[in-house]
Amino acid sequence: MVSDVETCKTKLSKSLERLFLETDTILKTESGLDISLSGCVCTMVLIILDRIYCANIGTCNSFYVFENSSKLDSKKLMKTSLLNVNPGLANSQTHYAHDDGSKNGLTIQPLITEHLPSDQEERTRIIKFGGEIRTIQSRITQNKKMNIGPLRVWKKNTNSPGLHITRSFGDLFAKEIGVVCTPS
C-alpha cells in the first residue's frame, strides 16, 4: 500500500512538472505576448481523497485552514476569511485567526514555500547560471549607495531584470540567468 502511494506521488509530481513546463512553452511560442520581461507566478492545489497536493512557482500563496475546536460558533468563523490574512504568512509555521483575535478559532497552515532570492538553494542556482542577487541600489551622494527593498535577481553588471522571484512563467530574459518554471 505504501509503495502505491509513493508511486502515485512520483507520477503526480512528474505530471505537474511537465504541465508547468508545457504552460511556459505555450506562453513563449503561442500566446503572441512579449514575455521577455514579463511573467507570472502560479500555485495549483489538488485535493485527492484525503490528501492535498500543491505545486507552485514564485510567491503565490495558498493555505490549509481548519477548525481548532468543534465548540466554535460557525457564524463567527464565517467572518474569518483568507483574504484578510497577511501574505507574509507563507514563510511561517502555523497561524490562527478568529474575529475576536483569539487563537482558538482557525488554524492556517501555509502549503507552499516562496521562491525568493534569499533562499540558499534558489540563490545558488541563479549564481551558477551567471546571475547575481542584490537589492536595488540608489545613489544618495556621489560616493555612497543605498540598498532599497528586497533581494532581486539581476543579470551581472546590469540593472535588469530585477525580479523579486526565482521561479515564474515567462520572464524569458531571466530564464537566461537561472529563473525556472519548475514547481516545488
Per-run averaged pLDDT (10 residues), the chain, 184 residues? 75 92 96 94 87 89 75 38 36 45 68 93 97 84 80 92 95 96 93
Same domain for 124 and 88?
A: no
Same domain for 88 and 71?
A: yes
Same domain for 85 and 140?
A: no
Same domain for 118 and 166?
A: yes
Print the domain residue range for 11: 1-58+113-184
The total number of structural domains in the chain stands at 2
CATH number of the domain that residue 134 is part of: 3.60.40.10
- Alpha carbons within 13 angstroms on the beta-carbon side of residue 91 total 10
Same domain for 145 and 162?
A: yes
Same domain for 11 and 94?
A: no
Same domain for 69 and 52?
A: no
pLDDT in tens, 135-177: 987 766 667 778 888 999 999 988 899 999 999 999 999 999 9
Same domain for 49 and 125?
A: yes
Rounded to two decimals, what is the model's pTM? 0.76
C-alpha pair distances (Å), 122 with each of 8, 23, 75, 167 = 27, 21, 43, 9
Report the candidate in 165, 183, 170, 171 with the shortest Cα–Cα distance to residue 126.
Answer: 165
Same domain for 120 and 148?
A: yes
CA pair distance 103, 107, nearest whole angstrom: 8
Same domain for 120 and 177?
A: yes
CA pair distance 170, 33, nearest whole angstrom: 10
pLDDT of residue 8: 82
pLDDT of residue 69: 58
pLDDT of residue 103: 54
149 phi and psi angles, rounded to 5 deg? 75, -170
Same domain for 159 and 125?
A: yes
